[in-house]
Amino acid sequence: MVSCQHVLRELSNYIDDTVDADLRKAIERHLRWCRRCSVVLDTTRKTLTIYSDQGVLEIPAGYTERLRGSFLKKIEKHES
């Protein structure tokens, strides 16, 4: 059986279909019961799909400022 750490380390190779058959089967068994790794795989695949899309995504007005403000609040909270 493979660990979460092993799955995450091999995730790119798994997605690219460059892992050997035994490791692929082990990863697939792991993904059947591990919700965390399944979510990471799904999110990574979706991110790659969005990133590889040839269209340009327009960022909504004010998004950058809201994101920056959110980060600053979290940093301040973490530092106190």
Could you tell me the residue ranges of all domains in the chain? Answer: 1-55
The pLDDT, as a whole number, for residue 80 is 66
Instruction: Please tell me the predicted confidence (pLDDT) of residue 57.
Output: 66
Note the pLDDT of residue 56. Answer: 65
What do you get for the CA distance between the two ends of the chain, in Å? 42
Spell out, as residue ranges, where the chain has pLDDT lower than 70: 53-57, 78-80
Residue that the structure tokens 């798994």 belong to: 14
The answer to whether the predicted template modeling score (pTM) of the entire model surpasses 0.75 is: no
- CA 3 from chain centre, in angstroms, equals 17
Only one residue has tokens 């809201």, namely: 66
Beta strands in 1-80 (DSSP E): none
